[in-house]
A and B are shown apart, each in its own frame.
Chain A
Amino acid sequence: MLLPEQMAKILIVGSKDKLKDTIEELYRLEKVHPIDFSAEEEGFTLGSPLPEASETSQKLLKLRAVSKDLAVVDKPIKDKVAAERIHTEIDEALITLEQEIRGAIETRDRIRNRKHDLENSKKLLEPFVPLGIDIDLYRGYESIAVFTGYVSTDPEPVLNEALKNYELFKSDENDLIALFVAKAEAPEAQRLLVQEGFVDLPAPQGKGSPSEAVKAIDAETEALDKALSDAEEKVTKLREKHEAFILASDEELSIQVEKAEFPLRAGATAHAFAIDAWVPSSSLEAVQASLMSKIGDDIHIEVVEEKVTRKEHIHEEEVAPGVREEHVKEEPPSKLTAKKPVSMFTHLTEMISVPMYGEIDPTNILAITFPLFFGLMVGDVAYGLGFMILGWIGFRHVRSDDWKTISAMLFFGGLWALIFGLFFFGEAFGMHFAPQWSAGASHTLYPYGDELSWSSMLQTNLTINLGPLPFGIYNKLNDVKMLLYIAIWIGIAHLFIGYCLGVYNETIRHGFKHAFMHKVSWLLILLGGAFLLPYVVDLLILSLPVGLLDYRLIVGIVFLLIGIILAFRAEGGQSILELPGLLSNVVSYTRLTAIGMAKAGMALAFNMIAFEMIGPAGGIAAIGAMAIFAIGHLMIFVLAVLSAGIHGIRLHYVELFQKFFTGGGSKFDPLRVVRKYTSER
């Protein structure tokens, strides 16, 4: 259950005329993961696509051109289109679609282009409107040169001094000029203009006054706008009319092309084909029987390996005298077997890597401890309830894998937060249920505590003792040392599980000896540390008298030494360098409670501002207090998703997974057809 499903390797060989039927059947079975053929095997070449492939591809190409013209996008459609209908209608439909659409699209594009041209000429004309000179007067002279363009300063004084025969027109802001000057003086005029920061702006082509021309353009643009909206509406109508059929045909043709091109993944000789594939061992018989009954004796199915070993063996082969080459066995794909609710977290594992065929799917442990850690970090009844509600809404409404995983995290994490909040911390919105007294405060004077709590707010004693399960064993802000200590023990336990899984994985893949040297060694080091921890705490933090002959010290050191020696022999000096790494892994778990404390601190601050500083004034202040309470807690709530979520998953990715998870497997991806817009029959 923890490992990916057992796989069998099969080889299907048959005559080429049965290839199409075989492919159809393999797609129907949805249990066969083909192995891409490598063209190394002697006597085989890569297969060539089925004859219908190129025709279907062409149709698909035409269809996609139409689809692009109409800007069809993926979206849910009401009625699925029968695949059969597409087959019979597609040829005719493509012709009519093209005819019908071409006209509308061409009209629309022509209008758009014309509008674009008009905009451009308007842009050219507009600067010349203020000069008030007819456009045709700017060119066509024999003895006069014309300069038009922008200047940064008024050039009139300079020109006046140097030129004899000229006329200067300026716009109101003195930035655009048109200078008409005798050709003989043109070079001098140009030199002077450049000195004044002249930038050439060619005069537009055409006739008449520029303002008239701009008016005409505006009028035409207005008419075009109307025509364009009509044309666009026509295209939209066409899109709405044909959308469903186009989406469905695209899907169906893509499926056909994929099937027709499948032989490219298989091997072929002149008259036969060969398909290598993985099949779950449990479905092997069914697959064999179904293929034989559908296609008959013209194909042969060879079971290469009925239960592919999970061992990762690397065998060496002498390829030339003295040269050895390592061959790594082909790794079967991993078909993960986790069921709901564990499988709801699979996406988180796959974000790192797909588990290999021969290793435990870490989702199994992640699905248990990740929500648990999330809950411990939040540890508040009110937030827990909020998260559960959000998660529940998520289950019902979200579709993408990412959001589904987040919903699962919120729901199950919220559930744990509720449980921890109720029994372990005994608080809601960062306030304890039970009365809280500050140091030295009188219990008789303040029967409901002198510090803020639900008891003091509601003036009732909310201490509830359910025998061994009192509400609120620890206070996040007062029992700091204890909570950190607990977090470290959770870390040790979590890593212990990690190493145990590591031992299991290594045993499966490389045998027990390897596992013993590589994982049991570290397990012993961890255990040694676990024995030493209470000793060190007694000695350094509680300052208790502990002797050198304490059993915890002796057992701890013995375990540590054995573990280090084993690890050193297996991994060399590197293992010594990794020792502090393990220590930091363990300390890293203190974040489990440290984050809870940080949040409790923030909540306390908001609660005190709301209920002790502003609230008691009453009236508007009470409303303000409620607003501060609501906004503050909303902020903590959102931060809790980020910090508890990211830190929770990080503890798994960085600390836990590295103890046993290799990853790098490939996902079991059988041949199958996924239909969104079409129906088979």
Chain B
Amino acid sequence: MVAIAAGIAVGLAGLASGWAEKDVGTAAVGAMAENEKNFGKGLVLMVIPETIVIFGLVIAILLWTKMGTA
């Protein structure tokens, strides 16, 4: 059960951040096409949703370490 929970945590979080990044990424590439200088700002905006998957990963790791004890 714990393993499934960990899988779901990281999997759904990954899907969610992928979905969010898709939108941001599209816009960022568009902005970059207009002006190359926007690359830095685009990159920053692009990776913001990534934090979601890191949260998922942390929860998954915490669950996983619980597996041995539970």
Contact = CB atoms under 8 A, between A and B. Distances in A.
Interface stretch (A175-183, A190-198, A422-430, A586-594): A586-594
A650 interface: yes
Contact of B40 (A353, A590, A594): A353
Contacts of A594: 54, 57-58, 61
B47 A646 contact: yes
B54 A591 contact: yes
B55 to A, nearest CB: 6
Nearest to B46: A650
Given A584-B51, A646-B47, A650-B44, 9 more contacts: A352-B41, A484-B58, A484-B61, A587-B54, A587-B58, A591-B57, A594-B58, A650-B43, A654-B48
A588 B52 CA distance: 9
A99 B32 CA distance: 44
B46 to A, nearest CB: 9
A352 B38 CA distance: 8
A611 interface: no
B62 A481 contact: yes
A116 to B, nearest CB: 34
A37 to B, nearest CB: 25
Contacts of A169: none
Given A590-B54, A591-B54, A351 B61 contact: no
A653 B55 contact: no
A464 interface: no
B39 interface: yes
B44 A590 contact: no
A587 B61 contact: no
Question: What's the dominant secondary structure at chain A's contact region?
Answer: helix
Interface residues of B, number: 17
Interface in A544-589: 584, 587-588
Contacts of B65: 480-481
A352 B54 CA distance: 23
A594 B43 CA distance: 21
Interface string A636-652: 00000000001001100
Contacts of B44: 352, 650, 653-654
Interface in B4-62: 39-41, 43-44, 47-48, 50-51, 54-55, 57-58, 61-62
A649 B39 CA distance: 13
Chain A CB within 10 Å — which of B39, B44, B64 has the most? Answer: B44
B61 A480 contact: yes
A590 B41 CA distance: 23
A587 B39 contact: no
A587 B54 CA distance: 8
Contact of B47 (A481, A587, A650): A650
6 contacts: A352-B40, A484-B61, A587-B55, A590-B58, A650-B44, A650-B47
A588 B61 contact: no
Nearest to B47: A650
A481 B40 CA distance: 33
B70 to A, nearest CB: 13
Closest A-B pairs by Cβ, 3 of them = A351-B40, A352-B40, A653-B44
B54 A351 contact: no
A210 B16 CA distance: 67
Given A584-B55, A587-B54, A653 B61 contact: no
A570 to B, nearest CB: 24
A588 B54 contact: yes
A277 B40 CA distance: 30
Interface in A347-386: 350-353
A653 B51 contact: no
B60 to A, nearest CB: 10
